[in-house]
Copies of this chain bind each other. A is one copy, B any other.
Amino acid sequence: MKNIKIAYIGGGSKQWARVFMNDLALCSDLTGEIGLFDIDKEAAVRNQQIGNNINKQPETVSRWNYVVYDSLKEILCGADFVVISILPGTFEDMRVDVHYPEKYNIYQSVGDTAGPGGVSRALRTVPFYEEFAAAIEKYCPDAWVINFTNPMSICTKTLNDVFPSVKAFGCCHEVFHTQDFLCDILEEFTGIKAKRKEIYTEVAGINHFTWISSAKYKDIEIFDFMDDYIAKHFEEGHYEHGPADSYKTDTFAYANRVKMDMYKRYGVLGAAGDRHLAEFMNNKWYLASPSQVDSWKFALTTVDFRIKQMNERIEESKKLASGEIRPEVKKSDEEAVELMRSVLGLTTTISNVNLPNRGQISWLPEGSIVETNAVFSNDRVVPVTTKPLPVAVQSLVRRCSDNIDILYEGIKKRDKKIIFESFVNQPLCSSLTLDEARSLFDEMYEKNLRFFQKNN
């Protein structure tokens, strides 16, 4: 068993931390320490207690030493892996991101990546990442850093810009769900029940707006069925994890109608949930109003809902920590542990990942953060080359990638003028007048000012 130290920044996480702890508990060749650091120390302590309870379960294969730390310095010293999954600010701050734009008829299904919400959230997040990157360079320059926080691209960009030789990559499971969707199509046309890892998808784009141009099960091209599939299912839609109308009750569900609509137009498949994809396009296309959203069969996730869900999770956490509920130790569909095993040289994985462009996407600038497949193995993550997407899709992606680069430049320089240019160039802001854009931006900027001025 390989002995490692994992530093988990944002280790008070109410959801993802537990998934990760479970997967590690079931990993037969890794053990060691899981350090937890969180501004909300109480939450970290709860996760420590839950971890200790997981250690006691019979299904547990690997028992870990859970340690709560008070400083970045302490948690990072000696770390082999740094896992970062934070909520930048609070859900009240997120209310700014998601709901302020509604005054201007900009509805956001997620509000954490692109659009005015993505810009607003980045103002809070990047300053934290500047701090993380500097600390990693100082205390554990050789550690692998795995980012899960959104906005993914700009977090990954910050790590690489502040500490250019950082060994960092950003992981996101949205592509996985699209692979599940493809499995459903395969089954419908061939009867074959494949697992998503059996589907090889060509992936190219940026996080939450990456595209699949080919999907093969063995040597069967699933895209060959796509036109027929969409002709049949476009109206009612299809959801890979439940009935097509799940979105009516599950705020995270969607019916893939946005994805199918885009496929009909472009011939390639957006590889993220519809809730994300829609936020990268003109706001009149899919997000003009709650009723339009409903007609495309997905939902707007409110911050009130998130707060309610958080509170339920805190309650559940307390029970898990106290032992009132027994933790269920089972393997998730997430890949983080597999990727860690891979860079440790224990296996080889090919999966999608966010990395600085060094040629994997020829039509995006060097250094922009892109999401493509990469080979994870033996202390390295090597992105594969990709074929060009249709120019119409390149154009959509390039604009959003430029917006991230402009935004990062603006935040790095603490230059409001440059940040505004990213804001007003967001497709979701495409029907604002300049005056409206300015008013909305000023208000959102003001609300994030205390984070944004940090480290400056």
Q: Which residues of A contact B (CB under 8 A)?
A: 200, 202, 214, 216-221, 261, 265-266, 282, 284-285, 288, 292, 343-346, 348, 350, 358-360, 362-363, 365, 373-375, 377-380, 382-387, 390-392, 394-396, 398-399, 402-403, 405-406, 409, 417-418, 420-422, 425, 427, 430-434, 436
Q: Considering only CB atoms, which chain B residue lies closest to A422 in the complex?
A: B392
**Docked-complex contact A394 and B402, CB < 8 angstroms:** yes
**Docked-complex contact B288 and A380, CB < 8 angstroms:** no
User: Which residues of B sit under 8 angstroms from A288, Cβ to Cβ?
Assistant: 433
User: Which residues of B sit under 8 angstroms from A285, Cβ to Cβ?
Assistant: 433-434
**Docked-complex contact A344 and B218, CB < 8 angstroms:** yes
A420 to B374, CA, bound (A): 34
**Docked-complex contact B391 and A399, CB < 8 angstroms:** no
For the complex formed, measure the closest distance between the CB of A399 and the CB atoms of chain B, giving whole angstroms. 6
**Docked-complex contact A378 and B265, CB < 8 angstroms:** no
The listed residue with most B CB atoms (<10 A of its CB), out of A345, A350, A384, A420, is: A384
Partner of A219, one of B345, B363, B394: B345
**Docked-complex contact A385 and B360, CB < 8 angstroms:** yes
User: Which residues of B sit under 8 angstroms from A434, Cβ to Cβ?
Assistant: 261, 284-285
Task: Tell me the dominant secondary structure on chain A's binding face.
Answer: mixed
User: Which residues of B sit under 8 angstroms from A422, Cβ to Cβ?
Assistant: 392
Partner of A384, one of B265, B375, B431: B375
For the complex formed, measure the closest distance between the CB of A140 and the CB atoms of chain B, giving whole angstroms. 15
**Docked-complex contact B421 and A379, CB < 8 angstroms:** no
Q: Considering only CB atoms, which chain B residue lies closest to A266 in the complex?
A: B421
Question: Sorted from nearest, which 5 A-B pairs have the closest CB atoms?
Answer: A218-B345, A431-B431, A216-B378, A430-B430, A395-B402
Partner of A395, one of B265, B406, B432: B406
Partner of A344, one of B200, B219, B292, B436: B219
- Additional 7 contacts, C-beta under 8 A, given A350-B377, A359-B385: A216-B379, A217-B345, A221-B379, A348-B350, A359-B359, A392-B402, A394-B402
A375 to B32, CA, bound (A): 32
Given A346-B218, A384-B382, A433-B285: A421 in contact with B375 (beta carbons within 8 A): no
A392 to B430, CA, bound (A): 15
Given A359-B360, A421-B266: A392 in contact with B378 (beta carbons within 8 A): no
What are 24 inter-chain pairs, A to B, with CB distance below 8 A?
A217-B378, A218-B344, A218-B345, A218-B346, A221-B379, A265-B420, A284-B430, A284-B431, A284-B432, A285-B433, A292-B433, A350-B375, A358-B362, A358-B387, A360-B385, A373-B375, A375-B375, A382-B386, A383-B385, A391-B406, A392-B406, A395-B398, A395-B406, A431-B431
User: Which residues of B sit under 8 angstroms from A218, Cβ to Cβ?
Assistant: 344-346, 378
For the complex formed, measure the closest distance between the CB of A365 and the CB atoms of chain B, giving whole angstroms. 8
**Docked-complex contact B216 and A380, CB < 8 angstroms:** yes
For the complex formed, measure the closest distance between the CB of A289 and the CB atoms of chain B, giving whole angstroms. 10
For the complex formed, measure the closest distance between the CB of A446 and the CB atoms of chain B, giving whole angstroms. 19
User: Which residues of B sit under 8 angstroms from A216, Cβ to Cβ?
Assistant: 345, 377-380
A346 to B343, CA, bound (A): 24
**Docked-complex contact B219 and A395, CB < 8 angstroms:** no
For the complex formed, measure the closest distance between the CB of A344 and the CB atoms of chain B, giving whole angstroms. 5
A375 to B422, CA, bound (A): 35
User: Which residues of B sit under 8 angstroms from A409, Cβ to Cβ?
Assistant: 391
Q: Considering only CB atoms, which chain B residue lies closest to A343 in the complex?
A: B219
**Docked-complex contact B391 and A200, CB < 8 angstroms:** no
A382 to B216, CA, bound (A): 13
For the complex formed, measure the closest distance between the CB of A340 and the CB atoms of chain B, giving whole angstroms. 11
For the complex formed, measure the closest distance between the CB of A107 and the CB atoms of chain B, giving whole angstroms. 14
User: Which residues of B sit under 8 angstroms from A373, Cβ to Cβ?
Assistant: 375, 382
A395 to B220, CA, bound (A): 38
The listed residue with most B CB atoms (<10 A of its CB), out of A219, A365, A374, is: A219
For the complex formed, measure the closest distance between the CB of A347 and the CB atoms of chain B, giving whole angstroms. 10
For the complex formed, measure the closest distance between the CB of A243 and the CB atoms of chain B, giving whole angstroms. 26
A285 to B424, CA, bound (A): 10
User: Which residues of B sit under 8 angstroms from A377, Cβ to Cβ?
Assistant: 200, 216, 350
User: Which residues of B sit under 8 angstroms from A406, Cβ to Cβ?
Assistant: 391-392, 395
User: Which residues of B sit under 8 angstroms from A386, Cβ to Cβ?
Assistant: 382
